[in-house]
Chain A
Amino acid sequence: EAQVTQNPRYLITVTGKKLTVTCSQNMNHEYMSWYRQDPGLGLRQIYYSMNVEVTDKGDVPEGYKVSRKEKRNFPLILESPSPNQTSLYFCASSLFGQGDYTFGSGTRLTVV
């Protein structure tokens, strides 16, 4: 089954404790992206990647890091999480980034 797999689904952590949210796709898509979704603000792009070793900032990159060492994987790293990063996070992929995204199931992160 073609899919984008995110883990974990739920995560509660404390301020400053580094964490990684994993994302993997099995569709051989070139493009992958991370979004956060907050009430009233919609989905906002954090980072995206056009291909292996090619990443770039989205609209809200502060406090996040990403890497794309393999085509299928695009982890999101929070080196020192803060409460304002409490949000619902989605990973998405697309063959060439034209907007026809397949989304992962989401990760609900709470930073206390």
Chain B
Amino acid sequence: QKEVEQNSGPLSVPEGAIASLNCTYSDRGSQSFFWYRQYSGKSPELIMFIYSNGDKEDGRFTAQLNKASQYVSLLIRDSQPSDSATYLCAVKPGGYNKLIFGAGTRLAVHP
């Protein structure tokens, strides 16, 4: 069974700090990696994707991928209370037409 693991949290950070969210996956053949944000009572929305080893930056968000360690992370700089949500890591296994989602990490940014 292909798996994606995340710490459920909550991860609590003060406003303005860097939030670091982590994810590990089991399928070495995975090629594509995604971060979705889900506010309470809402549907998931895509915020970042990454295909290659290294870092990818988009505004305050940086996705990091290390395929050798089977590890994906999301950094949120200058965290704001509006960033408080559950962050879902998702992996597309090689050869499969689906995403495998982690159970999500709840982030709480306090003023």
Contact = CB atoms under 8 A, between A and B. Distances in A.
Interface of A: 31, 33, 35, 40-45, 48, 50, 56, 58-59, 90, 97-106
Interface stretch (B9-17, B60-68, B91-99): B91-99
B69 interface: no
B81 interface: no
Contacts, number: 54
Contact of A42 (B32, B97, B98, B101): B101
A42 B103 CA distance: 4
A99 B92 contact: yes
Interface in B54-111: 88, 90, 92, 97-99, 101-104
Given A42-B88, A43-B88, A90-B44, A101 B103 contact: no
19 contacts: A33-B98, A40-B8, A42-B101, A42-B103, A43-B44, A43-B88, A43-B90, A58-B98, A59-B98, A98-B92, A99-B34, A99-B49, A99-B99, A100-B34, A101-B36, A101-B99, A103-B44, A104-B43, A106-B43
